[in-house]
Structure 1
Amino acid sequence: GGNSLAETIVAGMWVGGKVVEFLQGTNTVFNTGVIRDAHDKQVARIKALISGANGRESAYAVRNAMFDTIMQGAGIFRNGTDLAASVTKLQEILQRARKVGLRSNGLGANQELALALKIEGMVKLAQCVCYAALQRTESRGAHTREDYPERNDRDWLNRTLATWANASDDLPTLNYEPATKVFEIPPGERGYGGGKIIPMDNPPTATPKGAKA
């Protein structure tokens, strides 16, 4: 939106100046071969999509299947049964995404090509949402588990980190990062949600502004 665009312009101005400052007095050599390799990989992907080398699945059909799966299983109100079904369905959809081919010739401004290039990543991101939500057996913010209505600070006051170790994987690897130890407002009742809160074993106290973790 407009705010993000304005923020990007301002941040870009500061970052650009800092890059110049950082590089002063140094001899910098850029390996353009890396750029060429990345370019060549994208050209090969586009050619494969045009030729149907990987299959002729419709990018639009795959996108619609992904959308329906997310809507059915991973809305704001969720439960383990529906999330598990969505994870399984998205594994199947991911295989379809890897077999997408163009119905058009791919030349010029082409929305089908743009979607085809993104669709596998989109399905992977959807799977990150569903798989992480299935593992997170609590309710927190917009993640409301009907089968786990409590907010569980004891076990789940952390950040989910989802990665795809191998391009051929059909599920992400999940790791967890502890929440920051700097709290201007410690974890506690916020007056909404209505569910019970399972507190941390050793809850932190408020930390003054400007303090470092």
Structure 2
Amino acid sequence: MRASVLIAILVFVPGCECGHDEEEDRDRASRAESAGGDVMEDPARGVAERMGEGGGDVPAPSRFELVDAELGRGTTRARGWASLEDLRAGRGAARMSLGNWLCRLWTHYGPPPEVQRDGFVYVLRDRETGDVLSAYSAGSGPAMGARLTDEQGAPLASEQQARVAASVNAFVAMIDATEPQPCELELETDLGRIRVGVRDGEWFEDELE
């Protein structure tokens, strides 16, 4: 009796995405869009549009009120607008744009109450929690600040830190869901004078002579 031996050969083709479907493609594209741009973004300009889906999880702008800039002196950087994932994936241009950040803030709260070298500052209070936040831009790009220590300079307790983080993230979600209105601002930087803002549906950064 003859024995038959079947030999299965598995061939691996580098780069093959065998088995992926259209739903996976749509999900991948959705994740890229929600990060605020794509790998090929121009760092000097891009489409000024909503970057979040909105909905019930996004607070109304009225939850955050402008307060005296002096109240923001005790805030320190809590997070950047661009996440590390955005930056590592090359999707950070839209979230590193001063104009894109500025005009979203301007849409709800008017021109920046405080303009500094390299940037601007808005100081706000969360009406729900009482936390004071700062939405600003400086040499490191758009960012959020908050009070992360108590009056004695000690770090906040873990539950307080969680509350502050939730407040900061709620504000960012609201800004993401904002369609920025046209605005412009000239700034002095270490590299010269620039004009930033949103014009004709695009955020931009122009160098001035």
Question: TM-score by structure 1 length?
Answer: 0.24
Structure 1 or 2: more helix by fraction:
1
Question: TM-score by structure 2 length?
Answer: 0.24
